[in-house]
Amino acid sequence: MQDQKSPGPTAIGVKPSGWLTVENTRNLVFIVAALAVTYAALTFNQKPATPPVSIPVAPVPAVAPPAADLAAKAAEQAAPAPEAEVNPVAPAAPSGSIESSGRLDINSDDHSAVFKQFLQGKIDELNKAGPVVLTPQEHAAEPPQAAATPEQKPVAQAASQPTAVPQGVIETASSTAPVKGSSSTGYPKTTHPAPFVDKAAQASMESKRAAFIKTGKPGVAKIGYNVDGSLLTVAEREEQVRSTLTNIPDEWTLIYKAPQEKIRLYVFTDPTCPYCKKLHRAIPELQQAGISVHYLMYPRDMGSAAPDEVSPTAQNMRNIWCSVDQQAAMDSAFLGYRVAEANCDALPKSLHRPPAPVPDHYYMGQMFNVEGTPTMFASNGRSKTGFGDVNKLINILLN
């Protein structure tokens, strides 16, 4: 009969004979674990510190295709962004400010050598050119740009060779008093001289126009573009706007005049346009700031009407024009009302009101490159599309 004792080695499958006892087994496990920990600690302490590489790169020849891919991406990042119409040339990046954004360590292998060499070349080019900021006057004095064709695109002027700024290019008008006259049909015609003339911009546009006329090709008549179809500079565009607005008679627009007028704002508008409604509600603030509003009718639904058909908005605008009180009729239209039928022929002769120019305003909008309402052009050359805040608009127009 056995004693009631705890199971011995036999119970866990280990023979009691020899040196492999339970106690020896435990000691062996402890020794092995201690050796493993010691080895790991020594290995960790002796390992040289290296920067982490976010993406492992397998060794390949120095001119392998991935380097070309990196160079193509670097070209997009290192080359200056295309210059917008009003943006100055971005300053060159300081030499040595190369970052890999964690994609590749530029000093780690042959790939990096090719990549670094490419980037450094681009940076050297930018540093050699130096930061260049072109003023609107400098833009205006650039040499004529050839018209773009499928075979040959215009080449931008090198940033390192800015043209000298002409002296005294702004010429203030001797008088800004309204000019009274009459149209070919006998109606009164009141126009306004431009407040000033940018002589350099004017000469630049004229030289391009004269050069293009010699080609005998049909030209482009649109605000913002040269006759050859190339884009105008900021200074040229503003000069073009100023000179064009001088040809629009007051009697051909619907006017909300400012008591102390500083500038005139010509607005292509549509009473069904939500942003035009918002702008219309801000007219008292514009008038207080010295801004007169001259409305040009631009019924947006006219483009979808048949050639022999008058769209609903165009008809409403015709009724506004032929109303005895144009402002009251326009206010009603912006409140969402349909204006009562009106006939310009029935108006008192003392008003000297020309026939409703709604179709003419609409087609003139194409010349002014109107793509949405409201689109605005000021007598000082400034322009803006859309409306959000009246204070911002006043700041753009007057400052």
Q: Give the residue numbers marked as catalytic.
A: 270, 273, 276, 300
AA letter at 109: D
Alpha-carbon gap, residue 131 to 196, rounded angstroms? 31
Sign of CA dihedral 182, 183, 186, 187: negative
Q: Among 315, 261, 296, which Cα is nearest to 377's?
A: 296
Residue holding tokens 């009562």?
340
Sequence length of the chain is 399
Alpha-carbon gap, residue 141 to 202, rounded angstroms? 10
Q: Among 269, 250, 251, 249, which Cα is nearest to 368's?
A: 269
Query: In the 8-state DSSP scheme, what is residue 182?
Result: E
Alpha-carbon gap, residue 31 to 297, rounded angstroms? 95
Q: Provide the strand spans (E) within the chain.
A: 170-172, 179-182, 188-191, 196-198, 254-256, 263-269, 291-297, 375-378, 383-385
Residue holding tokens 């295709």?
65
CB neighbour list of residue 363: distance below 8 Å, 6 or more residues apart: none
